[in-house]
């Protein structure tokens, strides 16, 4: 009985701590015309508007879509809000939220071995367009360091991150993608110079690991020197749990700088 009570207390304490950490993210909306992007933003602890900071943008998966402006923090939100992380890696962190009736990029399920057909030639969905404009505003007003803009995503968000990397390859200092898939030929053609860390679960039956395995192979074959691939043998689609627990993830992200950032 004491063990049950202790476990219950620890569970409640962990939930309380996570809720406190997520409350550090301010609720914001980015409005352009008739369109709205909801997002949460975390500023460095001793934020100074006159200073430029690294910017991390993380795109959530399909299960966190909605309009509550909170669900997108479910995976990864607590990591960046930890006191130790904020002390060691002061940055502006943005978690945008995609509406339920939309996606971060255009694709359809197909008969390709990856399971997807990527419609990269089409105009991106509104959420991606709004997100890019939000990032531009943070960069152009000097709040975000142009040389240190980092993009991450999981599942649907990783697919979106790959799509944005293809479209804006000189915008990002590094990209980390978890259990996603992307247009391999275009990623190799446009973005082999961008540092990437790719994660996947070997048992993933939602987004097959085939796509990321092929992307990594193609990148290495093309001569890409800053691409890492980590596959977890016992992980299914929730490989984000292992990825966020990687002790070298944040040091790796923040070690990268964009030597030739795209012009404003």
C-alpha span between 242 and 173 (Å, rounded): 23
The residue-averaged pLDDT of 138-166 equals: 98
pLDDT > 70: what percent of the chain? 91
Tell me the pLDDT tens digit for each residue of 228-257: 999 999 999 999 999 999 999 999 999 999
β pairing state of 144-154 and 53-59: parallel
> What does the pLDDT read at residue 3?
53
Choose among 254, 238, 264: nearest CA to 93.
Answer: 254
Alpha helices for the chain (secondary structure H): 2-22, 77-81, 83-88, 126-140, 156-167, 184-191, 210-221, 240-244, 249-255
The residue-averaged pLDDT of 149-164 equals: 99
- Over 70: is that where the pLDDT of 43 sits? yes
Please provide the average confidence, as pLDDT, over all residues in the chain. Answer: 93
- Measured between alpha carbons, how far is residue 89 from residues 26, 119, 126, 225 in Å? 19, 36, 31, 25
Residue 142 CB neighbours (<10 A): 13
Q: Which domains does the chain have, with CATH numbers?
A: 26-255 (3.40.50.1820)
Choose among 36, 64, 29, 27: nearest CA to 127.
Answer: 36
Residue 165 CB neighbours (<10 A): 23
Tell me the pLDDT tens digit for each residue of 49-81: 999 999 999 999 999 999 999 999 999 999 999
- Our separate counts of H helices and E strands in the chain read 9, 10
Task: Give pTM, 2 decimals.
Answer: 0.91
Tell me the pLDDT tens digit for each residue of 32-42: 999 999 999 99
């Amino acid at each position: 009985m004491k063990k049950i009570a202790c476990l219950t207390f620890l569970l409640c304490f962990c939930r309380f701590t996570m809720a406190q950490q997520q409350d550090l993210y301010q609720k914001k909306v980015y409005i352009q015309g008739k369109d709205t992007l909801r997002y949460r933003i975390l500023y460095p602890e001793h934020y100074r508007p006159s200073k430029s900071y690294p910017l991390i943008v993380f795109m959530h998966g399909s299960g966190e879509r909605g309009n509550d402006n909170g669900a997108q923090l479910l995976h990864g939100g607590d990591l960046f809000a930890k006191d130790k992380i904020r002390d060691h890696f002061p940055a502006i962190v943005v978690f945008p939220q995609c509406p339920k009736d939309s996606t971060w990029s255009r694709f359809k399920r197909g008969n390709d071995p990856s399971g997807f057909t990527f419609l990269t030639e089409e105009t991106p969905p509104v959420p991606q367009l709004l997100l890019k404009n939000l990032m531009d505003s943070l960069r152009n007003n000097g709040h975000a360091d142009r040389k240190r803009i980092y993009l991450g995503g999981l599942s649907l968000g990783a697919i979106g991150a790959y799509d944005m990397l293809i479209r804006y390859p000189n915008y990002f200092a590094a990209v980390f993608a978890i259990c996603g898939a992307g247009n391999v030929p275009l990623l190799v053609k446009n973005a082999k110079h961008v540092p990437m860390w790719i994660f996947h679960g070997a048992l993933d039956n939602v987004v097959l690991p085939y796509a990321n395995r092929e992307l990594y192979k193609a990148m290495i074959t093309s001569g890409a020197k800053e691409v890492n691939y980590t596959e977890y043998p016992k992980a299914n689609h929730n490989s984000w749990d292992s990825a966020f627990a990687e002790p070298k993830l944040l040091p790796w992200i923040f070690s990268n700088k964009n030597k030739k950032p795209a012009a404003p």
